[in-house]
Structure formats: structure tokens, C-alpha cells
A and B are shown apart, each in its own frame.
Chain A
């Protein structure tokens, strides 16, 4: 079993720039921040390295950090510009029985993150959901389309903090 700090040190010596930081002050588990455009290589290493063997992606979820600039004009008071959208990866090794949490943050205006679908197949639908709810684009994903919302939903990404519900969908009124 490896502690989070040990895992971080192994990754740092292997990837250097791609590994940004480790935060141990989190209320739950320690978290390693990774470059969103290098997460695929890091993930492959985490899975294949004999000391780590992270063979299970327990969960992958999107988060709107809402750390950008809030709109100042009355009409778009809730609109957020700048800041980041994040993706969290909860990994577990069924062989060594240790866990780690990864985080990548991508700019809100062009949130591009490498897909890890080629490493853990379970990521396929999880990434589709993160795309559906937050509009995070997963590069090299084999089938990146909406999974929960209707395929022709054009009103944006509903779990973003500045999402505005449309009045109508296919003639059906949405607000109460």
C-alpha cells in the first residue's frame, strides 16, 4: 500500500511538469492535481506500474468550480466568465488496496481534457455524463455525445452554475 505522498513522489519523478501539486488539507482524501492534457499518460502509468496497479476507476465526475468573474450587468448577474471546470478521478487498486484522487482543471471557455477511456472502459459513460452536464470536451473519446439529456438539447449544460433553463423544449413549457 502506498500513501498519497508516496504516489505523488513517484509521479513527480516520472512526469515532472504534468503533475502540478498535491493537496493534503482536503477534508476527505489527499488529491493530486494533473495537467488536463497529460492525464492519459499519467493514468496509463498509474494502471500499469507494478507498485501502483490502479486497475479500477471507481468514479469520474465533473465539477463547476465557479471561480471566474461574475457578471456585473443586471441581465447577466449569474453569468460566469473565466475560471475553471474540473474533473475528478477516484482510483482504487483492487490488488494492492490503496486509493488516490486525481483532479484536472481546464479553462471554462475551452474545457479540453484528455479521455481516459482507453485505460479504464468505465470512463466512457462517465465522461459522456461530464460532457453532458458541464460541456467538458474529452479529447480522443470514441463516442462523445450526450447521455442523459436529449440528443438535440441546445440550451447548454445544465449543471454549470450559470446555466439558464430555457422556456420551452419541443413546445413543452419547462418552468413551473
Chain B
């Protein structure tokens, strides 16, 4: 955005559209709910750790749904867990975003036929913004998913929620 550039040092006024400012603020500090389900959660933790460093995109884990902006569904959603996930989602304040990470959470993954206990896609209970394919996805893939989510948020307007 160039807000910190020297050329603005003479004046403390910056003119921008409200949408741009809000979207910039939102997409630059997505606090994700500290929440993991299965092996995808291990990759998600690796993404958070120093090597891939989620924090450089402003993403950090927040262990309460009341102060989280996004939830990454990182793993197999069992029917038993599905109701808890829905409750967590409902406890998050708007605007809230969902990244579905990995085959299980996208579509049931390897449990699609004989998984008597698995919900075949988390989008059956909550609205997903970005689907990240993989089993499990590498940290690079999750980062790409986050960038896609940022792109989506950048196009939002106050009049209409799109992401």
C-alpha cells in the first residue's frame, strides 16, 4: 500500500476508499482459530512454524473463536466433530472465513465410500471460501490457499459480502 513510504512523511493524511482500507486491514491480519483435526493439522502447524512462517501474512493462531477471523478445517470431519465445528463457526464474529484444507474436509477424501463416520465435505455444514486440495497439502499449498483468500477479501465491498 505504500503507507509507510517516506513520500508521505510531510503530511499525515492519506486518502483512500473505505473499502480498500477495511479490506487491507482484514486481509493483512487474518487470525485463524487454533484448531486442528488430523494429519492436515500437522502440515498446518508446519506452515505456522518458522520455516514457512504464516505470520509474515499476518496469520497467527488465536485460541478462541470470539476473536478469530478464519478457521482452517484441517482434517477429517467426523459426524461427531461436525456439530462441534458448526458451533465453533457460529461463535466466530463476522466477517469470518473458512479454508477447507485437504481431501477429507473437501469431499470426504479416502472415506468417501466406506466412511460410516465421516462427513463427506465440510461444506455440507458451513460455507467454505477456499478449498485446498492435497492429502495432506504441503505448506506451500496452504499458503497459496491463504493468498487466494486474501484475493477474495481484497475484492469485498461494504455493500455486499462476497467471501
Contact = CB atoms under 8 A, between A and B. Distances in A.
Q: Do A and B bind each other?
A: yes
Interface of A: 148-150, 158, 163, 165, 169-170, 172-176
A176 B112 contact: yes
Interface size class of B (residues with CB under 8 A): 10 to 19
Contacts, number: 29
Contact of B116 (A170, A172, A173, A174): A174
16 contacts: A149-B80, A149-B117, A150-B79, A158-B116, A163-B116, A170-B79, A170-B83, A172-B119, A173-B120, A174-B116, A174-B119, A174-B120, A176-B107, A176-B108, A176-B112, A176-B113
Majority SS of interface residues in chain A?
loop
B79 A165 contact: no
Interface of B: 79-80, 82-83, 107-108, 112-113, 116-117, 119-120, 124-125
B82 to A, nearest CB: 6
Contacts of A175: 120
A176 B119 CA distance: 8
A169 B107 CA distance: 17
